[in-house]
Every structure is written in C-alpha cells, then in structure tokens.
C-alpha cells in the first residue's frame, strides 16, 4: 500500500502528538516480518522523542534506541490520543500496540509484510542492513539532478524497475513509478542509462513534483489506506495512468496499456511514452 507519500502523510498525522510521550506498554499480535528484537515489557518507561522517515521506513526515536516501522503492502497506523474516539480492542489484523502517556499507536497490517523492529542505535547491524543501501530522499535538496543522472547512467535496468528498487532514489513505488514515467514521457522498459539528458531532467522533476503533490493530497487511498488520524488520501483522483488500463490517455486519447515488469503491473501510453 504505502509508498513514500503515504508513509510521510502517516508520519505527519501523529508525530507531533506522540512526541514527548512515555511508553506505558507494548504488545504484539501475530508475527510480522521480523521479531521485535526486544521484550515488549522492556520498552515501558522509554520516551518517544520524535518520528523520522527514511524511504518507506518510519523511525521512532526513543530515549534509548529506536523503533523502526515498515508498513509493507497493507499496513497502516492509527493513533488515538486522550479525548479522541478510542481504538478499542485489537482486531484480527492489529499486530502491534504501543500504549503511551499521550495516546495509543496501533499497527494494522492484514498481509503482515510490515515490520516493527527495535534497534539499539543507528549503527546496529540490522538497522544498517535495512537502511544503508537506500537511495536518495526525493524530497530533500540532496536529490540533485546531477546525482540522479549519475545513478541512472550506472544501470542497464529498465527504468521502471530501477525506480522500484530504491537504489537510486527511495519512495517511488508501483503507483508513482507509472505516474512519473508518464509525465516525463519515458517508456517504462527503457534501460536507465539510455535515457537522454532532457528526459532525465524531466523525470527528476516529475519525481519531486508528483511525490510532493501526493503528500499534499494526503497520499493515495486505493482500498483502505488512511493516515494515523483516519484521513484518507485523494491523489488517486489525479492518477493519469495507474489503474487506467484501456481508458483514454489524458494527453493523446489512445488507450492506456498494462504490461508486466518483474511480476508488477506497469501502466503507460504506447504513443506518449514511445520506446
């Protein structure tokens, strides 16, 4: 479900409310992708200093160590502070509860591809394994055109798959990959290194613009995504190609095509995104 915009919208929807809170208790439901790595009881008493994001990971900085959260394909968080409607008893797909002095944070994740991992510090082996290989942050100034150009030039992979891999730039998932390639008029199967400088520039700009707009729109809600405050996203209303198989291209009116790349669906316009 969640690509960078959904994760960032989720972060913003509870970061301020949980910052400064002390953990009262934590509990786990069914196993997620990895073990928590610490006894739930040992988390009690620690303070949540803040919430950061790296790629599609959320990092809860604690007074001692940090909690690394990933929403996988179907995860979402919910946070209810005092005076808000309580979240109630954990349901069949609620797999992590963090009760704090400022509210309850709950992870809901039917497919359980998500993760909650305690790491003692940033130099922890697991944290490094998960975070160190990640590419540039698309909404940071460090995501320069020149660095992006170098990243693409180093790969023969089809551009769609290179974007999905996150090795050059993080956060562009299956929906936004199709969207940014449409906007920059690049064929999804084109080898990254063969993309001309003007199109690289257009793609760089599209990534920044689309992700920023999607964050503004509250992300994309296809089925059940909502931020930690329950708000749904609206970006799906302006998707140009994703999920529009057979419908007319907004630019040339020819039908949008669906193709498979590495077991994932790619939507594109054969005419506007010529090979």
Partner DNA sequence: CATGTTACCTGGTCGC
Partner DNA sequence: TGCGACCAGGTAACAT
Active site residue 264: yes
Residue 31: partners with Cβ closer than 8 Å, 6 or more residues away: 95, 112
Under the binding rule (CB under 7 A), the answer on residue 14 touching DNA is no
104: buried, middle or exposed (CB in 10 Å: 19+, 13-18, 0-12)? buried
Each residue 21-60 as x (binds DNA by CB under 7 A) or -, in order, gives ---------x------------------------xxx---
111 labelled ligand-binding: yes
Our finding on whether 12 is near DNA (CB under 7 A) is no
Q: Which residue out of 54, 149, 201, 264 is catalytically annotated?
A: 264
Q: Please confirm, yes or no, whether 56 is among the known catalytic residues.
A: yes
Q: Strand runs (DSSP E) across 88-219, as ranges?
A: 94-100, 103-108, 115-119
Other C-beta atoms lying within 10 Å of the C-beta of residue 22: 13
Q: Tell me if 251 is assigned to a ligand binding site.
A: no
From the list 17, 46, 56, 112, the catalytic residue is 56
Q: Give yes or no for residue 96 binding DNA (CB under 7 A).
A: no
Note whether 212 and 205 are within 8 A (CB).
no
Binding mask 104-143 for DNA (x = CB under 7 A): ------xxxx---------------xx--x----------
Give the separation between CA 219 and CA 216, rounded to whole angstroms: 7
Stretch that binds DNA, among 38-46, 140-148, 152-160, 200-208 (CB under 7 A): 152-160
For residue 96, the Cα-to-chain-centroid distance in whole angstroms is 19
Q: Are 40 and 89 in contact (CB under 8 A)?
A: no
- Residues lying near DNA in the complex (CB under 7 A) are found at 1-3, 6, 30, 55-57, 70, 72-74, 92-93, 110-113, 129-130, 133, 154-158, 161, 164, 166, 173-175, 219-225, 233, 262-265
């Amino acid at each position: 479900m969640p690509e960078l915009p959904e994760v960032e919208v989720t972060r913003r929807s509870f970061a301020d409310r949980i910052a400064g809170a002390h953990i009262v208790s934590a509990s786990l439901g069914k196993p997620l992708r990895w073990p928590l790595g610490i006894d739930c009881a040992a988390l009690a008493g620690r303070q949540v200093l803040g919430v950061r994001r790296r790629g599609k990971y959320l990092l809860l900085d604690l007074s001692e160590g940090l909690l690394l959260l990933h929403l996988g394909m179907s995860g979402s968080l919910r946070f209810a502070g005092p005076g808000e409607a309580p979240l109630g008893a954990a349901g069949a797909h609620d797999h992590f509860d963090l009760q704090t002095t400022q509210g309850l944070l709950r992870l809901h994740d039917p497919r359980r591809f998500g993760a909650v991992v305690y790491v003692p510090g940033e130099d922890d082996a697991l944290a490094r394994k998960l975070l160190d290989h990640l590419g540039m942050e698309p909404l940071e100034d460090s995501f320069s055109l020149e660095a992006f150009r170098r990243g693409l030039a180093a790969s023969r992979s089809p551009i769609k798959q290179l974007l999905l891999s996150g090795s050059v730039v993080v956060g562009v998932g299956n929906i936004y990959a199709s969207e940014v390639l449409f906007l920059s008029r690049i064929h999804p199967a084109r080898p990254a290194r063969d993309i001309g400088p003007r199109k690289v520039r257009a793609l760089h700009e599209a990534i920044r613009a689309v992700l920023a707009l999607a964050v503004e729109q509250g992300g994309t809600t296809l089925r059940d995504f909502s931020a930690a405050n329950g708000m749904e996203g609206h970006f799906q209303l302006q998707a140009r190609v994703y999920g529009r198989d057979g419908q007319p291209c907004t630019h040339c009116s020819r039908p949008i095509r669906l193709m498979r790349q590495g077991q994932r669906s790619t939507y594109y316009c054969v005419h506007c995104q010529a090979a």
